[in-house]
Structure 1
Amino acid sequence: MNFDERGPIYAQIAHRIKEDIISGKLHEEEQVLSPNQYAAFYQINPAAAAKAFEQLEEEGILYEKRGIGQFVSRQARIRLLRERRERFFKKFVDPMLEEAFAIGITPEEIASYMTGPKGGAHG
């Protein structure tokens, strides 16, 4: 994993773990590396790794089994996908619809385009 200057390392770690859950690399109830193992493997400050794991626990993405380690929570992937879909609609679809309606495109025209040969995944 390469870390960049775009944000705090702990946030990049948390993001990467979320991406691994979404992609299926990490599964529900699967044990993850400990913060110290993560820090040693990626040669980063253990405090940054600990902060990322703490954030993920607060969000309910990971949970701790005392004395054993941290695990991916049940329903973590479903929750992460739901959050990503909501962000997608707010960031991309809502502004597109606002512009479409502003220039007189009807909902029917949008639906027709999305299901037609040039729309959706066909375009």
Structure 2
Amino acid sequence: MILNTDDTKPIYIQIAEWLENEILSENFKSGQKVFSQYQLAELFNINPATAAKGLNVLADENILYKKRGLGMFVADRAKQMILTKRKNETLKRMVLEIVLEAERLGVSKEELFQMIIEAKDEVEEG
């Protein structure tokens, strides 16, 4: 992943989201140690304090936990917590934006449902 420095999203949030994606992809599994702040800093060419802030966001959400002197590890239910969080926050916000835009454009419920079904079919077909 390449961090987007032009994005309005802070770099530490991008780091946290990248780690979440790695957990969802099972590149990091429950109980597994994740990169240290220094490893993340080197990997993304950022300040270690920024990397630490990204790690701490996930620790505050109980997605990661600290083992004193050993580093940060993936919590047992991390993947499920991320899925729940993204469904309840990210996906809900995106759907609301789509519905509002559909309203502005005069798109009916039926048309919108059909568009969603077609998009889902396209994704599933690859």
Q: TM-score, normalised by structure 2?
A: 0.71
| Unmatched tracts of structure 2, length 5 or more | none
C-alpha contact (below 8 Å) 2:3/2:44 kept by paired residues? no
CA RMSD of aligned residues (A): 2.9
1:61 deviates by: 1.1
Question: Structure 1, residues 53-79: CA drift from partner, whole Å, max 9, x if none?
Answer: 111111111100111111011101001
> Looking at CA atoms only, which structure, 1 or 2, has the larger radius of gyration?
1
Identity of aligned residues (%): 32
The 1:8–1:90 alpha-carbon spacing in structure 2 relative to 1, beyond 3 Å, is: closer
Q: Does 1:121 align with 2:121?
A: yes
| Unmatched tracts of structure 1, length 5 or more | none
Q: Which segments of structure 1 move beyond 6 Å, counting only runs of 4 or more?
A: none
Match of 1:13 in 2: 15
- Residue 72 of structure 2: SS of its match in structure 1? strand
Match of 2:99 in 1: 95
Alignment of 1:1-123 (within 5 A): 1-4=1-4, 5-6=6-7, 7-86=9-88, 87-92=90-95, 95=99, 103=108, 121=121
C-alpha contact (below 8 Å) 2:31/2:75 kept by paired residues? yes
Query: Paired residues, what number?
Result: 112
1:9 deviates by: 1.4
